């Protein structure tokens, strides 16, 4: 007796089987392979995570566009995309920026147990140091999002870290003493910095023989790795006096 394939394999769900018109067989719901995938991702949420940023983009594995909506995470959860190791700090990216992102090799063969670095299977995160590992002996662990899900995509961003405008949240305490600042975002319409007066960042000033101004003074700062704070912003230039609160 010859058995024919069921016309509708999921009759209770009233869903027709996917169909591939070229091959005549059922189309796969996911594209499998050992090659890495690349897609364009757009930053869709404020950059508040050190190691990754929430984006929206086209997931080439499904294939489907994954949107981000903070008010409807069930339907638009976004895609967490790992930052390059050199840019792993908050405030590195702005909403609407677009970057290519890659999906590392998805293979079933794990790295040897004696190798702490899982190359090609996950973007990873340095176990001890912020950003890049401090040395060859440091373990690189699996990178997770805040909700506990494993992050797969990693952003391809070759841009160097730039100077950021900053405004003192407190009076300058003196050379070599950490103090609080607000970082700015460049506003093209006014050709000036707009300061986030809510979020606090840590800064330090190692310059000699300069005036130390009061709160509200503005300047330029460069991000540096810090064992204590993760990132500390080194003062490059600063006003000699304060024009008033940020």
Per-residue pLDDT, 213: 96
Gap between the Cα atoms of 61 and 41, Å rounded: 14
Q: How far apart (Å, rounded) are the C-alpha atoms in residues 95 and 157?
A: 15
The hierarchical CATH code for the domain 164-238 is 2.40.50
Q: What is the pLDDT of residue 144?
A: 93
pLDDT score, position 135: 81
Instruction: In the chain, list all ranges with CATH 2.40.50.
Output: 164-238
Output the CA torsion sign for 225, 229, 231, 235: negative
> Residue 103's pLDDT is what?
84
Per-residue pLDDT of the chain (246 residues; tens, 9 = 90+): 566 655 555 556 666 666 666 665 666 666 666 666 889 999 999 998 989 999 999 988 788 899 999 999 999 999 999 999 888 888 788 899 999 999 876 566 666 666 666 555 678 898 888 788 888 888 888 899 999 998 989 999 876 667 899 999 999 999 999 999 999 988 888 999 999 898 899 999 999 999 999 999 999 999 887 888 878 999 999 999 999 999
How many Å apart are CA 41 and CA 113, to the nearest integer?
Answer: 33
Question: Phi/psi at 245 (nearest 5 deg)?
Answer: -55, 155
């Amino acid at each position: 007796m010859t058995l024919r394939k069921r016309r509708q394999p999921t009759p209770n769900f009233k869903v027709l089987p996917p169909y591939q018109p070229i091959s005549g067989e059922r189309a796969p719901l996911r594209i499998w392979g050992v090659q890495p995938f690349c897609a364009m991702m757009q930053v869709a949420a404020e950059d508040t995570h050190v190691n990754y940023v929430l984006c929206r983009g086209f997931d080439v594995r499904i294939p489907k566009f994954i949107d981000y909506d903070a008010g409807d995470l069930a339907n638009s959860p976004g895609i967490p995309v790992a930052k390059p190791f050199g840019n792993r700090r908050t405030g590195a990216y702005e909403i609407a920026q677009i970057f290519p992102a890659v999906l590392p090799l998805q293979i079933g063969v794990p790295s040897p147990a004696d190798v702490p670095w899982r190359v090609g299977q996950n973007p990873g995160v340095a176990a001890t140091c912020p950003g890049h590992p401090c040395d060859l002996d440091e373990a690189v662990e699996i990178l997770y999002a805040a909700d506990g899900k494993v992050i797969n995509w990693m952003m391809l961003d070759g841009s160097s870290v730039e100077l950021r405008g900053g405004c003192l949240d407190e009076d300058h305490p003196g050379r070599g003493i950490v103090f609080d600042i607000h970082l700015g975002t460049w506003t093209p319409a006014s050709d000036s910095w707009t300061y986030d007066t809510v979020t606090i960042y840590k800064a330090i000033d190692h310059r000699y023989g300069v005036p130390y101004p009061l709160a509200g003074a503005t300047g330029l700062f460069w991000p540096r790795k810090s064992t204590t704070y993760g990132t500390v912003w080194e003062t490059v230039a600063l006003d000699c006096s304060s024009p008033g609160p940020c």
